[in-house]
Structure 1
């Protein structure tokens, strides 16, 4: 049977996605047919696959690291939060339902079957599958019916490496504490640990590393250095988007909507030399000296339009336009710029309609059919071939 390995984290945001991408690239360079896999992801950053569905953006990046096209089997369950207590459930690339968090557990037996089916298909076409967990197995209150961490590892009988994050502090407690709270059968699946995001002289942590080994009983598989260039790759969380710093050219700002989606669309601007790019967090006004305000994509256009107004950003945008400033809307942000948004079927919340910002003479009707498409284009000035994808719900006239 082809080999498989699972990377789990001692907490969220410890660097699992980047480590999986790195392992995928390293093994692919050795000539192996490698595939990434994440049983369950929660993210509003999604990509369209070669087989016409959608998966988490991180798994699309990992597929790129493997040198292969992204497939829906690489992330069979994707949860896209729409409200504080509910999410759209994407199964094998297609929308299954929108459920409240407390009702999601009842779906898990059905979802585990789809997860195992996708994993088997992916494994059959690879020499190695590198699997990424979600959150942490230490969240034992979520262990019953789990399909994302130890529940999947046990069902698939996979060895696990546990990743701790030294940058946030307390890495000894992260890893040793995880061992303490796991039940014996889950604990037995862990073969060792990795300490990630280390800065400075590794010799200074030699004693701490030995303490983790002795107190956990697990073998250490390495101390990974801080990787500054990770900021150039798509982030899972919009709060991970660092500002581009001071620039002498254009100043671009983007309000951090509560359900912001596919914010990595903004990476080329954030990384462009000479541009100052800032994500504006809730509670802060949009800067008066901005040249361009970008309204990003969102998983809930009406919900985030309410959120935008609650921050007073609609007033800031109106003042910005009066001063001659430019506004650019992407996807849901574009829909917000129109006169009205209609959602008669309640696809993104309670059925109804609401006024937009009125900056464009357009109106949007939410329809059940989601547009998922791969697209190609040519850059007119240079003839460079471009490819990308389109994901959106709603029709704008």
Structure 2
């Protein structure tokens, strides 16, 4: 089996983008490439062609490989439901909820399934590009690890360590990783790279030499700050902490950030529209005067609904509606807009129920059965293509006036009688340019962006070009092949 694993000195050093870019580089060279992440933690997920769910980043990496996404690309997915509990997804299917303590005790038992998925991918590939999670320097998590060195050593996959110079301290981060990890783990690292460099990379030549002298690892290059990465789908919630620049001339679309916000990458196509100022509203701030409010998905709908009320955002949303401005709820946000949400079996947290915002005449009952399916259809007179990934069933009078219809004729979502409030279970609703244009026309904005899928594909090409120019790709291939 031929593979190479990209690990990082910390979270958000750019591992997902680097893996996606390398996948496209190697695909461009005519290789059959597959992405793999043993363990992911994210509430941004995608539905695969084989009927499961995986992390959004691995679905993007599959696109980079020009191959359909499969559950084997991310065999273990943790979807946080609270500070100390997560829904456990194994090979695309829900296996219940785990506390942090139970996860630490039980994750080693998943290693065999992780390795089985890796072997299946490898059997259909010339090379597998593996993404680590967090950092191998988190030595407190090493026992039972399946995400970083635990996997690398079990599978015999060599590691390339990436450091992020944009956050500072990259020399200490790379050298410090060598110092604190187990010597046998350090022996799996065959090279390193520096990511997110701004300016002339020759200015860091002495820094690269220092890292080589202190670690003995092979230098593989300095990657520039990749602006095209901004056009790739969001996965890590850390991006929500970075406010976008505002010019005051765009139509504001506001989305409140709840603690368990999920699939907020649904909004990425709006973020890239020149006429739109997408404002992700953090806790402690009111929802601003906006042309439209969007409520995104949630991994713990009742808990996020309670949080929304505690922040006073329910008052802001109702005031927005009284001003005659539209509100759209996606998935969990759709459920919140109804009259009632019930979770009788406690599938997303403690059992219970609560009144919704009452802007749609529907109610939702959560059940353990999860809908996972790719869909297409039409809404507002334009086509859409996306997927459903949700627990529960929503019913009520407003579903008789659906937002759209699937290709099988079934109504999808619900629309209020005044036409201002809409709810939909479709993730990726804004992906096709014509569908996005139909929603933006409701607030007087002309859409200019292309189909999001095409734009993501173009961004992957741009990232690949940058990696070809800045990294020693032949050396990375040699590292992978040496582990045969």
Equivalent residue for 1:361? 361
Displacement of 1:380 = 8.2
Residue matched to 2:198: 199
Contact 1:244 / 1:277 at 8 angstroms: preserved in 2? no
Is residue 59–residue 69 contact of structure 2 (8 Å, CA) maintained in 1?
A: yes
Larger CA deviation: 47-56 vs 108-117: 108-117
Could you say which residue in structure 1 is the equivalent of 2:10?
A: 11
Contact 2:10 2:135 in 1 (8 A): yes
Residues 342 and 352, structure 2, Cα contact 8 Å, conserved in 1: yes
| Preserved CA contact (<8 Å) 1:5 1:158 | yes
**Native 8 Å contact 2:108 2:145 kept in 1:** no
CA gap of 1:239–1:183, structure 2 versus 1, over 3 A, is closer
Task: Name the SS of the counterpart of 2:166 in structure 1.
Answer: coil
Residue 48 (structure 2) aligns with:
49
Which residue matches 2:476?
none
- 1:357–1:381 distance in 2 versus 1, CA, 3 Å: closer
TM-score by length of 1: 0.96
Q: How does 1:339-354 map to 2 (within 5 A)?
A: 339-354=339-354
The answer to which of 355-364 and 313-322 deviates more is 313-322
Aligned to 2:398: none
1:109 is displaced (CA, Å) by 2.8
Alpha-carbon deviation of 1:354? 0.7
Once the two structures are superposed, what CA deviation does each residue of 1:81-126 show, in whole Å capped at 9, x if it has no partner?
Answer: 0001100000000001101111112321321111011111111111
Query: Of 376, 380, 393, which residue of structure 2 is paired with 1:395?
Result: 393
Q: Which residue of 1 aligns with 2:98?
A: 99
Name the SS of the counterpart of 1:122 in structure 2.
Answer: helix
Secondary structure in 1 matching 2:376:
strand
Which residue of 2 is the match for residue 116 of structure 1? 115
Work out whether residues 243 and 270 of structure 1, in 8 Å CA contact, stay in contact via their aligned partners in 2.
no
- 8 Å contact 1:244–1:275 — kept in the other structure? no
- Cα deviation per residue 1:326-346 (whole Å; 9 max; x = unaligned)? 211110001001111010000
Query: 1:247 touches 1:275 (CA, 8 Å); kept in 2?
Result: no
Q: Which of structures 1 and 2 has the larger relative contact order (alpha carbons within 8 angstroms, sep 6+)? A: 2
**Mapped partners of 1:89, 1:79: distance in 2:** 5
After the TM superposition, which residues 166-185 of structure 1 pair with which residues of structure 2 at under 5 Å, given as runs?
Answer: 166-185=165-184
Are positions 1:150 and 2:125 aligned together?
no
Q: Which whole-Å CA distance do the structure 2 matches of 1:104 and 1:203 have between them?
A: 44
Distance in structure 1 (CA, Å) of the matches to 2:193 and 2:161: 6
Per mean C-alpha deviation after superposition, the further-off stretch among 308-317 and 143-152 is 308-317
SS in 1 for 2:274: coil
1:250 aligns with 2:251: yes
Match of 2:163 in 1: 164
Question: What is the correspondence of 1:83-94 to structure 2 with a 5 Å cutoff?
Answer: 83-94=82-93
Deviation at 1:42, TM superposition (A): 0.1
- Map 1:204-223; keep pairs closer than 5 Å: 204-223=203-222
With over 3 angstroms needed to count, the CA separation of the structure-2 counterparts of 1:134 and 1:245, relative to structure 1, is same
**Would the aligned equivalents of 1:112 and 1:147 in 2 still touch at CA under 8 Å?**
yes
SS at match of 2:167: coil
Q: What is the TM-score normalised by the length of structure 2? A: 0.79
**CA drift at 1:151:** 0.2
Determine the structure 1 residue equivalent to 2:187: 188
Contact 1:34 1:128 in 2 (8 A): yes
Distance in 1, Cα, partners of 2:318 & 2:379: 33
Q: CA deviation at 1:257?
A: 1.2
**Would you identify which runs of 4 or more consecutive aligned residues in structure 1 move more than 3 Å?**
377-382
Separation in 1 of the partners of 2:92 and 2:120?
15
Q: CA deviation at 1:381?
A: 6.4
Distance 1:239 1:97, change over 3 A: same
CA distance in 2, matches of 1:246, 1:299: 33
Q: Which moved more, 1:215-224 or 1:128-137?
A: 215-224
Look up the match of 1:260: 261
For residues 127 and 338 of structure 1, what CA distance do their matches in structure 2 show? 50
Tell which deviates more after alignment, 341-350 or 108-117: 108-117
Aligned CA distance change for structure 1 residues 362 and 379 (closer, same or farther; 3 Å): closer
Cα deviation digits, residues 290-341 of structure 1 (max 9, x gap): 1111110011100101111121111211222222222111100010011110
1:213 and 1:268, CA in 2 relative to 1: closer, same or farther beyond 3 A?
same
Unpaired runs of 5+ residues, structure 1, are none
- For residues 391 and 166 of structure 2, what CA distance do their matches in structure 1 show? 39
Tell me the CA shift for residue 238 of structure 1. Answer: 3.2
Structure 1 CA distance for aligned equivalents of residues 161 and 271 of structure 2: 32
CA deviation after TM superposition for structure 1 residue 247, in Å: 5.2
The answer for the alignment partner of 1:282 in structure 2 is 283
